[in-house]
A = this chain, B = another copy of it.
Amino acid sequence: MIILSAQKVIFVVTHGEEFKDRLEPPLHLATLVALLEAEAKMIYTMSAGLLLKKGVPDKLKAIGKENTLLETIQEAKEAGVKIYVCSPVLDMYNLTREDLIDEVDDIVGGMYLVTESLEADVTYTF
């Protein structure tokens, strides 16, 4: 087994539901990182934030998958992945915290995104 402990990987997710090929891969990769006991943080921003609106991920399926996006999110959470939404998403689409699914760990600002990336070993922007 590869030991990644004390390493941190950030996944900035930026594409919304019209990109069906992009729904599952970031969650899959983040889950792998968490299973290796490294820190995996996903930050949903731009139109990807809408993927985490109540009523949305339970109706979406990735290409070739049986599971809904919500189930894939829940699997990631069980593995230890943290899920954040970037605060400008709420302004852009007139949403409040209550409009988002409970699986979202927190709302964060751009400064959080930048400082987390500076501390991370890898930052992916999907």
Contacts and interface: CB of A to CB of B under 8 A. Distances in A.
B9 A22 contact: no
Contacts of A2: 111, 115
Contact of A64 (B9, B32, B93): B93
22 contacts: A12-B124, A14-B126, A16-B21, A21-B46, A21-B47, A22-B46, A24-B88, A25-B88, A29-B110, A32-B110, A32-B111, A32-B114, A36-B114, A63-B92, A63-B93, A64-B91, A64-B92, A114-B122, A117-B122, A122-B123, A125-B125, A125-B126
Per DSSP, chain A at the interface is: mixed
A124 B123 contact: yes
